[in-house]
């Protein structure tokens, strides 16, 4: 993924390491948080489906606008 959601994963990794060193967060919790960030970072998601849904939503809004435009004429 190349969008801004990668920032959240990086913040989770850096934050959990920071909490481990500064506040003494347990090593198991630190490793689990880092693994969670890495696994969800590697997950590509449904980007194609989201794009298709967005296109269909735009077409629906255009159709509604055209319907109401014709209705008011």
What DSSP letter does each residue of 3-37 carry, written as one string?
STHHHHHHHHHHHHHHHHHHH---HHHHHHHHHHH
**pTM score:** 0.54
Q: What are the angstrom distances between the C-alpha of 69 and each of 56, 58, 63?
A: 20, 16, 10
Written as six digits, the tokens of 66 are 């055209």
| pLDDT tens for the chain, residues 1 to 73 | 455 567 888 898 999 999 999 999 999 999 999 999 888 876 666 677 778 989 999 999 999 999 999 988 8
């Amino acid at each position: 993924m190349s969008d801004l959601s990668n920032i959240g994963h990086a913040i989770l990794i850096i934050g959990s390491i920071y909490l481990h060193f500064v506040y003494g967060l347990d090593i198991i919790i630190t490793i689990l948080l880092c693994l969670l960030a890495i696994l969800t970072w590697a997950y590509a998601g449904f980007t194609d489906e989201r794009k298709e849904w967005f296109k269909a939503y735009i077409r629906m809004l255009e159709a509604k606008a055209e319907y109401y435009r014709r209705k008011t004429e």
